[in-house]
Amino acid sequence: MTKAGLGWLISCVLLTVSACSEGHERPKPLPTTSGKAPGDSLALTTDSAPLTADQVFSTRCATCHGYSGKGDGAAARALNPKPRDYTDPNWQKSVTDAQIKKTIVEGGPAVGKSSLMAPNADLANEPGVLDGLVKIVRGFGQPSG
């Protein structure tokens, strides 16, 4: 594991442990990259097992951004500033897919945002996974129903 990856993992574990003391319900299933169940789309190969955009969102992003995309993940309580609310239509209109990808790969500071948004450099050469993550983020901006 790279030094950056290890730092990200430690940060997430610490934030999750500190934020989970009150418990947090998983509101509803997150938008997936396909009509299939999470885990059936857009593979990312790692040393241990293939991952998908759905799994990356569930394990990395939802910790802070929440399964509902509202910035209400378990770790969000301990963060200042609070994570981005992907359901905000004004934000959805203001950001390009390329900006979302840059934020995911390079982290918040690369786009003038919080240093608490960790980079995911391991996804830089995974365009299918990045496209899937953008689809998930954009899915939160769609009216439900």
Return the beta strands (E) in 13-132 as ranges. Answer: 43-44, 51-52
Spatial contact of 99 and 111, defined as CB atoms under 8 Å apart: yes
Instruction: Delimit the domains of the chain by residue range.
Output: 3-20+36-139
d(CA 74, CA 50): 25
Return the beta strands (E) in the chain as ranges. Answer: 43-44, 51-52
d(CA 136, CA 60): 13
CA nearest neighbour of 113 among 136, 68, 83: 83
pTM for this entry: 0.69
Long-range contacts of 43-48 (CB under 8 A, 24+ apart): 43/128, 43/129, 44/123, 44/126, 44/128, 44/129, 46/122
Structural tokens at position 83: 């994570």
Q: What's residue 116's pLDDT? A: 94
Task: Render each residue's pLDDT in the chain as its tens digit; 145 residues.
Answer: 555 554 444 454 444 433 433 344 444 445 555 444 443 344 444 455 557 999 999 999 999 999 999 999 999 999 999 999 999 999 999 999 999 999 999 999 999 999 999 999 999 999 999 999 999 999 999 887 6
Tokens 């960790």, located at residue = 118
